[in-house]
Amino acid sequence: MGHTVEIRDSDLLEILKRKSEPYLSRIDTSIKKEMELYRHSKLYGPILYALEGGKRVRPTILMVAAESVGSDIGDTDLAAVAVELLHTESIIHDDVIDEAASRREKVAFHIKYGYGAAMLTADYVFGMILDIASKYSDSRVSRELSVASLRMCEGEYLELRVDPKSYSMNWDEYVEIISKKTASLFQTAARLGSIIGGGSEEEIEALSSYGLNLGIAFQIQDDVLDWGSEGKIAEALARKRSPEAVLERMKEMAESYSIKAKESLNAVKSGPAKDLLVLLADFTIIRDY
């Protein structure tokens, strides 16, 4: 492919950090500004705790997608916050369901605050998302956030029903779960950015495809990095296959979906924003955290 980045992994990471910094700074400023509206709430502190340590990948994709269709990123601030809040809400629920003890190298939310507080906080965060969506005159913003939420719940439910002790998962089922549970929010982030940025239908669909494929690659790489730790998906995939074969297949799939993500950008005009989207796709499968 003509736009493949031919640089070393360490150089790619440094370049990505440098190019992403303005977006990350703007996202954190926007989150802080939005959170000030809820300083009066008893849930203010817990929500700040839940937001700590995030990579902000999804809101970054949203802002860069808007730029890639030729827009100033000014109108994307609130949508970027909404996407990060939706990710945060899903993490709270996910950790409760998985009975996880930690997240982002700190105590899991429900362990620190209790199960009841976890459920209430996640619901409160969703209310914050609805409020943000109401501030956009374009109804597509609220619809995209709604679709992402519905698909994420479906993906979580599909995973919840997996019994690794009696079920051997096939690769299509694996991709379906991660497409809904994880990649749907990547897809929504890219779609929202292109919608708010005033992209054409062709650009919106191209960036939507980019987000979906990037999200699948991202989750597969997460699963590769988590290999060896307990996990029902990994166990179900390896039930009738050797762990080595499963791991090798996952690495191949991550690379394949990263390539698909970059190919989706053929309909997006060349420029610094597109270059950054390509870098994100490259980084997704070489990262070690």
Q: For the whole model, what pTM was predicted?
A: 0.94
Q: Which residues pair with 106 in a beta bridge?
A: 103
Please provide the DSSP assignment of the chain as one string: -TT---S-HHHHHHHHHHHHHHHHHHHHHHHHHHHGGGTTSTTHHHHHHHHTT---HHHHHHHHHHHHTT--GGGGHHHHHHHHHHHHHHHHHHHHHHT-SEETTEE-HHHHH-HHHHHHHHHHHHHHHHHHHHT-S-HHHHHHHHHHHHHHHHHHHHHHT--TTT----HHHHHHHHIIIIIHHHHHHHHHHHHHTT--HHHHHHHHHHHHHHHHHHHHHHHHHTBTB--HHHHHHTSSS-HHHHHHHHHHHHHHHHHHHHHHGGGSPPSHHHHHHHHHHHHHTT---
What whole-number distance in Å separates Cα of residue 265 and Cα of residue 281?
A: 11
pLDDT in tens, 21-33: 999 999 999 999 9
The vertex-185 CA angle with 137 and 233, nearest 5°, equals 160
pLDDT in tens, 101-132: 998 789 999 999 999 999 999 999 999 999 99
pLDDT in tens, 124-162: 999 999 999 999 999 999 999 999 999 999 999 999 999
Contacts 24+ apart (CB under 8 A), 111-115: 112/49, 113/46, 113/49
Q: What percent of the chain has pLDDT over 70?
A: 97
Q: Which residues pair with 227 in a beta bridge?
A: 229
In CATH terms, the fold of domain 9-284 is Farnesyl Diphosphate Synthase (1.10.600)
Give 248's contacts (C-beta < 8 A, 6+ positions apart): none
pLDDT at 7 over 70: no
Average pLDDT, the chain: 93
pLDDT at 1 over 80: no
pLDDT in tens, 167-211: 999 999 999 999 999 999 999 999 999 999 999 999 999 999 999
Cβ(45)–Cβ(85) under 8 Å? no
What whole-number distance in Å separates Cα of residue 226 and Cα of residue 240?
A: 20
pLDDT in tens, 277-289: 999 999 999 988 8
Weakest mean pLDDT among 54-58, 86-90, 241-245: 241-245
pLDDT of residue 13: 85
